[in-house]
Structures are given as C-alpha cells and as structure tokens.
Amino acid sequence: MAEGSGRRLMVEVCNAKNLMPKDGQGTASAYAIVDFDGQRRRTKTKSRDLNPQWDETLEFIVHDKDSMTSETLEVNLYNDKRTGKRSTFLGKVKISGSTFVKSGSEAIVYYPLEKRSVFSQIKGELGLKVWYVEEDPPETENAGEEKAESAPPATEEKLPENSQEGEKKEDKAEETQDEEKKEDENKPKEESKEEEKPKEEAPEAAVPPPEVENPPIAQTEKPKPPKEKHVEVQKRADLNVSDHELRSLRGDRSRSAYDLVDRMPFLYVRVVKAKRAKPETGSTVYSKLVIGTHSVKTRSESEGKDWDQVFAFDKEGLNSTSLEISVWSEEVKEGDEKSESSLGTVSFDLQEVPKRVPPDSPLAPQWYTLESETSPANDVMLAVWIGTQADEAFQEAWQSDSGGLIPETRAKVYLSPKLWYLRLTVIQTQDLQLGSEGPEAKARNPELYVKAQLGAQVFKTGRASPGSANPTWNEDLVFVAAEPFEPFLVVTVEDVSNSKTVGHAKVHVSSIERRTDDRTDSKSRWFNLASEDEYTGRIHVRVCLEGGYHVIDEAAHVTSDVRASAKQLAKPPIGLLEVGIRGAANLLPVKTKDGTRGTTDAYVVAKYGPKWVRTRTIMDRFNPRWNEQYTWDVYDPCTVLTIGVFDNGRYKRGEDGKPNRDCRVGKIRVRLSTLDTNRVYVNSYSLTVLLPGGAKRMGEIEIAVRFSCSSWLSLMQAYASPILPRMHYVRPFGPAQQDILRQTAMRIVTARLARSEPALGQEVVQFMLDSDTHVWSMRRSKANWFRVVGCLSRVATLLGWVDGIRTWVHPPTTVLVHVLLSAIVLCPYLVLPTVFMYAFLILLLRFRYRQRVPQNMDPRMSYVDMVSLDELDEEFDGFPTTRPAEVVRIRYDRVRALAGRAQTLLGDMAAQGERLEALFSWRDPRATGLFAVLCLVMSLLFYAVPFRGVVLVAGFYYLRHPRFRDDMPSIPANFFRRLPSFSDQIM
C-alpha cells in the first residue's frame, strides 16, 4: 500500500432506515461496501432487517491531503445473496470530499439512497458519520511499513476469492432470477464497472487544481503553479472555509480575469535596495520618487538592508513625462540633529517604460548607477514598468489614488463568522439546597427559574413553584453561537422568593454535541450546581449545537445565503456570480477638506453570503473609478446581492483619538433570479440615501454583473427545492423567537467584523444588513399599504372589466362572452386547455416587454420623497425614544389613529366570515331556515335539470341587458348583509 499523508478518513456506518425488501420474503439482509480513493471496506451483514444497525467504523488512508476535497466517498448497499434468495442492489450514497469535517465536528447525517439506474426500485436512507484525523508522519520508512502491515484486517472487505470470480458468481446468480425488474438485468455490468473503476483509475488520477473542480463558463484564468496552490490549501485550514469559498477568494482582485471592468494603467516602481561605493556605518538611507507634483518616500533603513517597496501611480493622474528617483543618506549628529545628503539621482522617460500584462513574469529589478557630483559610483536596484490593476504587485503597493499605505483605505475581503444555533433544554433539578431549614424556610414557597448565559446572551425559563426542591421545566432556550465559540455556557438556578442564587454550572461549549437533524436526540447530562464552591444540587439538561438550521443574520426578504450550518449538509454550488465594480459619477461632497472645500473619499462594500468585499478608497474624487472584480459561488438563485457606497472617515482620527465614522452614500440590491445566465449586465444605478433631513440623491454607481451557470438541470432543481433547510420546517421557531435570534445574529456579525484589521465599521455592517427593518416607520407602513392596494387594484380592474361586460358597456364583447359561455357549457373538456393556452399567449406577448435591466431599490415605491420631517425624525429616533414627552404624545396619537383604522378593517373582515358561519349555526333561526329551504329546492332542481343547463341559464341571467336590471342591491346580497356577526358582542 502506498504511504499515506498522515491523514486518516474515518467512516462510521451507523444504520439504515426503511430499506426496500429484496429477498422475496418482505425483508433484506443488508451490508455496505465503502469505496474511497481506490480503497474498499465492507461491513457485516445484518440478516433480515429493513432497519439495520451496524455502528461500524471503517478507516481509510488519505494519500494526498491537497486532493482529498476532489475525491468522492461512495457507499453501496447490497442484499447479501448468501442469506437471501438473490443479491440485489439496495441503494448508494455519494459524498464529496469537500464536506468532510475534522475530528470533533462529526455528526450523524442521514442521506437518501440514490438509484443506480432509471429502473431501480430504491427507498430509504443511510446514516453516516464521516470525519478525518491528522496523524504525525512516520519517523522512518520501516515504521511506516510496520504500521501498514499491522493495520487490522477486519476493516478490509474479506473476499476469499478474487474480485473477478466473485463478480462472475454474482452474474450467474442474477441470470437465473426472474426478469421482472430491469435493475437486476443491468446489475452485473454496472456493478463490475463501479467496482473496477476506482481500482483502475486511482493510480493514474491526477490532482486537479482547485480552479478546475467546478470551472465557471466565463473564466479565462490560467491555473496557478503548484506552489501557489499549496499556499491556498494552507489558507483554507486557517480560515475554516470550504474549497468553493476559497475558489471565490482566489478569484478576487488580480487573480480574476478582469473582463467585466476596464483596465486601468498604473506606473509601477519597485525600489529594492541601494549600494554605496564607500559604505558608512551609523547612517540610514531612503529613496524619494518624484513625478511632477507627486512625491513619495520609502522607509528609512540602515545600509545593507532592503526596502523592497512597490509604488503604483495612477497613470491618468500624472502631470509629468519623467520619473526621478533619488537616494538620500541620513546621519544623526549631536543634539539629535539630522543631516541629509544626496547619493544621486536616476531619471526615466515614461514614454520608454516597458509594459507588463499578466500572466507575464514580473519584471526583474536591476542595478542603476546614480548620477551625483558629490558622491559618485552609487547604485540603486529597482524596476519600472507600466501595468494594470490586475498586476500581482497592486495589492500591496503604495497607491497614489488611495492615500498610500493607509490600512483603512486598502481593498480587503472579510468573512462573516460561522453561526450555529445552540439549544439548551432544561429538564429538571434535584437535591437543591435552598438554605437553612426552619419554620421560615418551611413556610416559604420557593419560586425557581433557570437562567442561561452565553457571552452577552441571557435567557430564562418560566418560574416553577414546586412543593419540593425538585422542579421540572422541560423548556428550550436557544442561543446564537459563533465560531470560535465562547468558552462556557453558564447555567444558573435562582430563587425569586428571596432573590438568591441557588447554584450555577458551566458547560464547555467545545464539548457540546453537534447534530444535523431531529431524528437523533442529543444525550441528556447531569451537572453539579455549586455556589461559593459548595455543592447545592444538580441539574438535568440536554444541550446540542443545531447544524440543520441556517442562522438568519439578515432581513428575510434580502437574504443572500440559505445554507445549513453543518458542513455535512453542504451542497455543491449551482453557479458563479461575478461582479465588476467599475466606478461612480457625480458624487456629492460629504465632508470638508482643510475647512474650505467639500470632498468625498469613496469606497464600495459588496455582500453576498458570508463573504464581504471592500474596494480600495479613492481619495478626494467625485468621479472615482475602482474597476475591481470579485466572484462568489451561488448556491441558490433566489438570493440578493447588496452593494453599498460609503465615504471613508476611519483613516482619520478624531480629537478623542478614536476613528471617525464612515458616512453612507447609498445602496443598491440585485436579485440574482432576475438575471439571465451567462449574460453581462453593465448599468448605472442611482444612489439615494435617506437622512433625517429627507431623501438625497448622492450620485450614480456603475457595476457589471454576470451570473454563470454550467447546469440548467441543477438550476431548475433549485426552484423546486425548499428555500431553507429541512429543520426550519420540521421544527420551526416562532415569529417572535426568530426575530430575537436574527437580531442577536446581526449583533454578533457586526461585532466580529468590527474586530477585523482594518475594521469594517459597525455603521457599515448595520446599513448593509438592514438591521433597522423591525423598527416602526410611518414611511414603510405607507409603502406596504400602497403595495397591498396595488395588488388589490389589479383585482378591482378585473372585476371592473367583468362588470363592464355585465352592463353591456361594449356590446360586441358581451356577445362574444355569451358565445364563449355557451361553448364552455356545451364543451366543458375545452375549459382547461383554453385557459392554459390563453395564459401561454399572454406570457408570450409580455416577453417583449420584460425588464432588460436588473431592478434596484425604487425611491418612489419607498415613498422617500413624500415623507414629512417629523416622520423621518421618528424613523431615525433610537429605541427607546429620546424625544420630549410632547413629541412622543403626538406620535402616539398618530399611531393610535392608524391603529384604529386597521382595527376597523380587521373587524369588517372578521364580520364577513362570521356571517358565512352564521348560515349553518342557526344563530338567526329564520335566516338559517330560509337557507335550508333554499338548499332543498336547489338540490331538487339540480336533480331534475342538467348541470349544464343551470350554468348556462345562470350565466345568461348574470349577463342580462341593463334594461332588465334593478339599481338596488340583489336579494342574495341583502340576505347576506343581514346575517348576524359577533360585532355586537364586542365590548
């Protein structure tokens, strides 16, 4: 066996459920064959059991850590032919190597069994645990060989005969069976191919680069060298992200194709080091670069040390055709006085500077002799070339348009913390020590509750008033936990009657069990309660990390990620989202510079899924051009990309030494489902920001978007799948609890990103996540109300059209409706075909008028131009309010007026339903009696008259000419409105 890489893959075959009977007697004798990287293991056979339980752990050697994510683990279930009548296929499961988790994070996952062919009859699911462990490499080759030879043979598939003979026997057994099912006919060839394939291809399998695992359609980037790939793999281990996410990270900035943005020319200067003809000790040297009015210095270093700094000058902003590089020497004399002397100068004509475009190799620096009259024969090593923002050196270079090397102005990629739901079920307590015993203690009836705290989150159970000291709760407390987890979950039992803490216990969060569904309950545990290091009882709880949920950390209507927390439940991406942030135009000044003129230092933040990107800050420009391109993996097309523009204020400190806040300039959203696949959209969107003084248009942003999808089948399948993971439907949270958890998740994400370096400001994250959507806003209420009115207006338009036909407004149309009604009644089988054909023709006609540009947030629909200043002040007011009592009273009266209207509307809607119910409840005996007589007459009429005739007569009566109508309400309408409701019983 080949020598491993120090990593072992562990597969625990737990159990199977609801297998298909295959032995002809209503049962099956199942065993599992597990294949990974040319290795095969087999479990024991569980005789005559459709829900077998194996609990066997199989071990595999990972030959190459880097290629493990591209491997596939395949588990096949068979009915054992030695115990059953025939050996048949029971189903298979394929698991991608990218979903393997490290030891300690494993959890049982139930995979539905897949078919091998179209004719297979398969059902059931298989429970597996898959994880890998890291081991130290063997010290010597002999030790590695001894270890390989001493591996337990029990895990290997025990085949007394060679595999070919075994397959031939299975083929003969299959040929003798009945040919009722085509899967039994196809099994020998398919099984032999599936079993031989890993053995034949494993030695020749090449390790593909990460970019080739799921190549995007429009990707023109060449594969990276092996060294860079190794660095990326190490980065994956540090960031704890999947390979698909890493591919998105690798595709950012200079590594992407940059085909959605314009190439921006930059003049690059790499200054490496200087060399004196006569070295001097105790002095430092630095270099100065001058292009017209642009001047910049390198850091000062002692002689013999390298600067190795790169400077990037925006070529369009240069006001000179020559570059001058000089080297200076600094000496400190007595009294801390510094003296500077020039070591020489070298000049370059920018017209003769060579151009370099990746993937060309970087330009090699070379020695240049410095021209000097006082200090000749000095040299400087440097390289000068003209490139673009796609150059590898651009990321860490000093940039003339971004304020130099200020960290807060650099382009960065951020990752939101991985979030989990932590569920604590408080069951009961025992042996509680509630204090000294005595008459007072016996007379006091303790009221106990349990308080749990995880970081800043605190939740409490209800109060229990037990007759003894062993109360029972059986209540769930749900927290939001972020990786890396808080060290402890603190559980405290408190007595309300005397405001005293009975005791507390600490639960190590790292030791909490993780589960992916509700099919297996986590184990309950007992913890000792202590107060001041004294035993005060014990508490019985059940605690687990829920990996089957998606922790919602953004508003539900603009969500960008719907994946479950558990890595085992991850699905492969269905496409690639590429966004080119090109530039902005006509930005308004946000702050003043030098106290005289307005300026804007703009940057862009784009958020999709857990990945946030921030462009570099373009300093002091109202028409900045970023031309940066980023990529994301797409797992669901019905998600939203959010892009915000901000003015950078954090690179400057205030008088108190703290960084200033970033000002928001505007925000846009793009829903991916509105984009055509493999098409580039380049559009400009208006930036409108809502301020306490009203809505203000801040300018425009130009972006390019492309949504690439390699498989239409997977894209269409996504539309038929549930939006959220399974646990949200089988064990949902209540609306109030879900809102609390979402706000908690938002605060955690905000705090974690604010702790990055450089920080992504709290005001930026909250603006991107729409963290204030739960706050009352008169403007949003109006917008939502008019949205409802807009939907009802379409119904009103339809009813008006029907009423126009009924009242003969256009006689030819009414006559045609009479003909159509007669055709429907006489030929009812044409109803559904006609309806669907009519709908198809309408959709085909409207295809010409479809939206050609992805829609953005609509200021008119948001009613930002029709809101008063008082309503805006109320919207921007904090919670709780900080306004005077008089202002709060006015706003309260206004809300009461709106609530009164809504209350009346709800009462009217409820009254209609109660009147309909009153027909059958005999609340009005006369009305119900009349309705009963009408039902009897109608039943006899329908028995005597064909249904077609009734419909035809009723239709003609409804469409009768206005001269045969009465202006008063109809008898059925009068009868229904007179029915009783419960409105008169409301106090």
| Residues above pLDDT 70, as percent of the chain | 83
Q: What is the pLDDT of residues 913-928, one digit of tens each?
A: 888 888 888 888 888 8
User: How far apart, in whole angstroms, are the C-alpha atoms of residue 749 and residue 415?
Assistant: 10
What six digits make up the tokens of 681? 């959209």
Is residue 782 left, alpha or beta, with left meaning phi > 0 and alpha meaning psi from -120 to 50? alpha
User: How far apart, in whole angstroms, are the C-alpha atoms of residue 704 and residue 578?
Assistant: 8
The answer to whether residue 34 scores a pLDDT higher than 60 is yes
Q: Which residues neighbour 887 within 8 Å (Cβ) at sequence distance 6 or greater?
A: none
Which is nearest to 375 in space by CA: 456, 274, 455, 462? 274
The answer to whether residue 343 scores a pLDDT higher than 50 is yes
CA 574-605-679 angle, to 5 degrees, is: 40
What six digits make up the tokens of 353? 């500077």
Q: What is the pLDDT of residues 227-286, one digit of tens each?
A: 333 333 333 333 344 444 444 444 444 344 678 998 889 999 999 998 887 777 767 889
Locus of tokens 């400087």: 380
Identify the three-state secondary structure at position 629. Answer: strand
Mean pLDDT across 726-744 = 91
CA torsion sign, 942 to 948 to 953 to 959?
positive
The answer to whether residue 320 scores a pLDDT higher than 90 is no
Query: What pLDDT score was predicted for residue 818?
Result: 85
Query: What pLDDT score was predicted for residue 646?
Result: 95
User: How far apart, in whole angstroms, are the C-alpha atoms of residue 414 and residue 612?
Assistant: 5
Cβ atoms of residues 419 and 481 within 8 Å: yes
Cβ atoms of residues 7 and 134 within 8 Å: yes
Cβ atoms of residues 948 and 825 within 8 Å: yes
Query: What pLDDT score was predicted for residue 784?
Result: 79
Mean pLDDT across 561-574 = 90
Which is nearest to 42 in space by CA: 13, 71, 20? 13
The answer to whether residue 321 scores a pLDDT higher than 70 is yes
**Separation of CA 638 from chain center:** 11
276-285, 529-538, 569-578: range with lowest mean pLDDT: 276-285
Q: What is the pLDDT of residues 840-853, one digit of tens each?
A: 888 888 888 887 77
Locus of tokens 């051009």: 625
For residue 673, the one-letter residue type is: S
CA torsion sign, 253 to 254 to 255 to 261?
positive
CB-based contacts of 775-779 (< 8 A; 24+ apart in sequence): 775/875, 775/879, 776/874, 776/895, 777/871, 777/874, 777/875, 778/867, 778/871, 778/874, 778/875, 778/894, 779/862, 779/863, 779/864, 779/867, 779/871, 779/872, 779/875
- The CATH class, in words, for 263-399 is mainly beta
For residue 913, the one-letter residue type is: G
Q: What is the mean pLDDT of the chain?
A: 80
CA 51-54-57 angle, to 5 degrees, is: 145
Query: What pLDDT score was predicted for residue 223?
Result: 39
User: How far apart, in whole angstroms, are the C-alpha atoms of residue 293 and residue 671?
Assistant: 45
What six digits make up the tokens of 145? 């060989």
Q: Partners of 642 in the beta sheet?
A: 607, 669
Q: Which residues neighbour 530 within 8 Å (Cβ) at sequence distance 6 or greater?
A: 503, 504, 505, 536
Query: Mean pLDDT: which of 258-272, 601-615, 817-831 is highest?
Result: 601-615
For residue 713, the one-letter residue type is: L
For residue 752, the one-letter residue type is: R
Mean pLDDT across 784-788 = 80
User: How far apart, in whole angstroms, are the C-alpha atoms of residue 546 and residue 422?
Assistant: 6
What six digits make up the tokens of 136? 């130290």
User: How far apart, in whole angstroms, are the C-alpha atoms of residue 273 and residue 309?
Assistant: 9
Domain 416-433+444-544 has CATH 2.60.40.150: yes
Cis check for the bond before 758: say yes or no (omega within 30 of 0).
yes
CA torsion sign, 582 to 585 to 589 to 594?
positive
Q: Partners of 40 in the beta sheet?
A: 35
CA 754-758-760 angle, to 5 degrees, is: 40
In the structure, what pLDDT confidence band is assigned to residue 628 with cuts at 50, 70 and 90?
very high
CA torsion sign, 388 to 392 to 395 to 397?
negative
Cβ atoms of residues 122 and 113 within 8 Å: yes
Burial class (CB in 10 A: 0-12, 13-18, 19+), 3: middle
361-365, 394-398, 480-484, 849-853: range with lowest mean pLDDT: 849-853
Query: What pLDDT score was predicted for residue 446?
Result: 77
65-79, 399-413, 568-582, 780-794: range with lowest mean pLDDT: 780-794
Burial class (CB in 10 A: 0-12, 13-18, 19+), 966: exposed
**Separation of CA 492 from chain center:** 34
Identify the three-state secondary structure at position 20. Answer: coil
Residues in the chain: 987
pTM for this model (two decimals): 0.74
CA distances in angstroms from 222 to 210, 215, 710, listed in the order given: 12, 11, 19
108-112, 183-187, 320-324, 360-364: range with lowest mean pLDDT: 183-187
Query: What pLDDT score was predicted for residue 182?
Result: 40
Task: Outline which parts of the chain fall under CATH 2.60.40.150.
Answer: 5-132, 263-399, 416-433+444-544, 565-725
The answer to whether residue 610 scores a pLDDT higher than 90 is yes
Query: What pLDDT score was predicted for residue 148?
Result: 40
Locus of tokens 């009734």: 950
Query: What pLDDT score was predicted for residue 85?
Result: 53
Q: What is the pLDDT of residues 167-209, one digit of tens each?
A: 344 444 343 333 334 444 344 344 444 443 433 333 333 333 3
Q: Which residues neighbour 761 within 8 Å (Cβ) at sequence distance 6 or greater?
A: 650, 661, 662, 754
The answer to whether residue 27 scores a pLDDT higher than 70 is yes
Mean pLDDT across 791-814 = 84
Q: Which fold has domain 5-132?
A: Immunoglobulin-like (2.60.40)
CA distances in angstroms from 849 to 186, 248, 698, 846, 885, listed in the order given: 51, 35, 30, 5, 53
Q: Which DSSP category does 830 fall into?
A: G
Q: What is the pLDDT of residues 636-692, one digit of tens each?
A: 998 999 999 999 988 887 777 788 889 999 999 998 988 889 999 999 999 998 888
Query: What pLDDT score was predicted for residue 393?
Result: 86
- Biggest alpha carbon–alpha carbon distance for the chain: 123
Q: Are strands 283-291 and 266-275 parallel, antiparallel or unpaired?
A: unpaired
Q: Which fold has domain 565-725?
A: Immunoglobulin-like (2.60.40)
Q: Partners of 630 in the beta sheet?
A: 579
Query: What pLDDT score was predicted for residue 225?
Result: 39
Mean pLDDT across 571-578 = 91
Q: What is the pLDDT of residues 109-146, one digit of tens each?
A: 889 898 887 777 888 999 999 999 987 655 444 444 44
HEC readout, 947-986: HHHHHHHHHHHHCCCHHHCCCCCCHHHHHHHCCCCHHHHC
Which is nearest to 610 in space by CA: 493, 501, 482, 440? 482
Which is nearest to 650 in space by CA: 772, 762, 768, 769? 762
Query: What pLDDT score was predicted for residue 885?
Result: 84
Which is nearest to 515 in space by CA: 93, 53, 73, 14? 14
What six digits make up the tokens of 530? 């202590």
What six digits make up the tokens of 697? 């248009």
Cβ atoms of residues 417 and 748 within 8 Å: yes
Helix (H), strand (E) at residue 229: helix 226-239
